[in-house]
Amino acid sequence: MDDKTHKGRITKQGIRIYDEADFAGMAKAGELAAQILDSMVDLVKPGTTTEALDAAITKMVNDAGSTSATIGYKGYQHASCISVNHVVCHGIPGPKLLKDGDILNIDVTVIVDGWFGDTSRMYVAGKPNRKAERLIQVTHDALFEGIMAVKPGNTFGDIGHAIQKYVEGHRMSVVRDFCGHGLGRVFHAPPNVLHYGRPGTGSILEEGMFFTIEPMVNLGRPETKVLADDWTAVTRDKSLSAQFEHSIGVTADGCQIFTLSPNGKFHPTY
Ligand code: MF3
Ligand code: CO
Ligand code: CO
């Protein structure tokens, strides 16, 4: 069954409403994605390469009998995006050696029984400096500020506002050029989930909506540019950037996080 023939309702804004069985499908896909990210904790270290990390991810996806959503997506050829230091997102795994103090986001999307699990976290090769550690903490906590704003009756603007207020309150900036997205039996669906905004604006959240929240936060200015490889997005001012991503579903009184770490490893510094 593909998304077009899927049972159920779509809102006026084009957002699909899923049922209880669909939550179970997303939980399975999300758990595998999270399990893969858990396994990366011990592999990220100075002297390794991002293509070695990606190879380990490809193997885990295959061993689980799952499919990578990113291999073949718009010509992308890897099972992960790995974004180091001033790379904001969509970093392509490659042969460059990680060095002590590098910070990196690893973003994995798997397909299990047709359901998409999309999640990313920050990692540190060796020991981070204090600024990098603070950036990672603020980005992590900003994601959860957004998640805490998720419940029926609130709006997508409430989510964006919560994230933006938290980040700017810490004198960092929210990237505007990339956003979260609806997902389910497709990788990217309506709505665009902005990580900035005004309270009360945007579509109203309803029980059964599935989407990602994936704020990118820069130590410097928010502007980005995409390199000549057509994928790698970097900060224009070369400042450090961080990102965390969860796939979630709206429940009657809040949300279910599909991509929580099965081993309590979501955060790199505790
Ligand atoms: N996982 C990314 C997201 O959060 C999308 C990566 S698409 C790729 O939406 F082709 F760059 F892998
Ligand atoms: Co995503
Ligand atoms: Co992702």
Q: What's the confidence (pLDDT) of residue 1?
A: 47
> Could you tell me the two tokens for 38?
């858990």
Q: What's the confidence (pLDDT) of residue 270?
A: 61
From 88, 105, 94, 96, select the one nearest 226 (Cα to Cα): 88
Supply the residue whose CA is at minimum distance from atom 12 of ligand 1: 70
245 ligand 1 Cβ < 6 A: yes
- Is residue 3 predicted with pLDDT exceeding 90? no
Distance, CA of 233 to chain centre: 15
Within 8 A by CB and 6+ apart from 74, the residues are none
Which ligand has the minimum distance to the alpha carbon of residue 76? 1
Arithmetic mean of pLDDT, 149-157 = 98
> Could you tell me the two tokens for 233?
């997005």
Q: What's the confidence (pLDDT) of residue 54?
A: 98
Q: What's the confidence (pLDDT) of residue 143?
A: 98
Q: How many CB atoms lie under 10 A from the CB of residue 262? A: 11
Could you tell me the pLDDT band of residue 42, with boundaries at 50, 70 and 90? very high
Q: Would you identify the CATH topology of the domain 21-257? A: Creatine Amidinohydrolase (3.90.230)
Arithmetic mean of pLDDT, 242-266 = 96
Q: What's the confidence (pLDDT) of residue 266?
A: 84
Q: What's the confidence (pLDDT) of residue 29?
A: 98
Could you tell me the pLDDT band of residue 268, with boundaries at 50, 70 and 90? confident
Largest Cα–Cα separation, the chain: 51
Q: Which residues are annotated as a binding site for a divalent metal cation?
A: 107, 118, 181, 214, 245
Angle, helices 20-40 vs 50-63, to 10°: value is: 140
Q: Which of 87, 106, 107, 178 to probe ligand 1 with, by most ligand atoms within 8 A of CB? A: 107
Q: Which of 187, 211, 212, 259 to probe ligand 1 with, by most ligand atoms within 8 A of CB? A: 187
Could you give the CA distance from residue 189 to residue 182 in angstroms, rounded to a whole number?
4
Encode pLDDT of 210-239 as tens digits.
Answer: 999 999 999 999 999 999 999 999 999 999
69 ligand 1 Cβ < 6 A: no
Give the burial class of 152: count Cβ atoms within 10 A of its Cβ; 0-12 exposed, 13-18 middle, 19 or more buried: middle
Within 8 A by CB and 6+ apart from 83, the residues are 89, 90, 91, 104, 105, 107, 232, 233, 241, 243
Could you tell me the pLDDT band of residue 7, with boundaries at 50, 70 and 90? confident
Encode pLDDT of 16-25 as tens digits.
Answer: 999 999 999 9
Distance 82 CA to ligand 2 centre (A): 13
Could you tell me the pLDDT band of residue 8, with boundaries at 50, 70 and 90? confident
Encode pLDDT of 53-90 as tens digits.
Answer: 999 999 999 999 999 999 999 999 999 999 999 999 99
Range from 27-36, 137-146, 184-193, 257-266 carrying the lowest mean pLDDT: 257-266
76 ligand 1 Cβ < 6 A: yes
145 ligand 1 Cβ < 6 A: no
Encode pLDDT of 94-150 as tens digits.
Answer: 999 999 999 999 999 999 999 999 999 999 999 989 999 999 999 999 999 999 999
Mean predicted lDDT score pLDDT of the chain = 96
Strand order of the β-sheet with 189-193 is 189-193, 180-182, 210-213, 246-250, 255-257
> Could you tell me the two tokens for 85?
């230091």
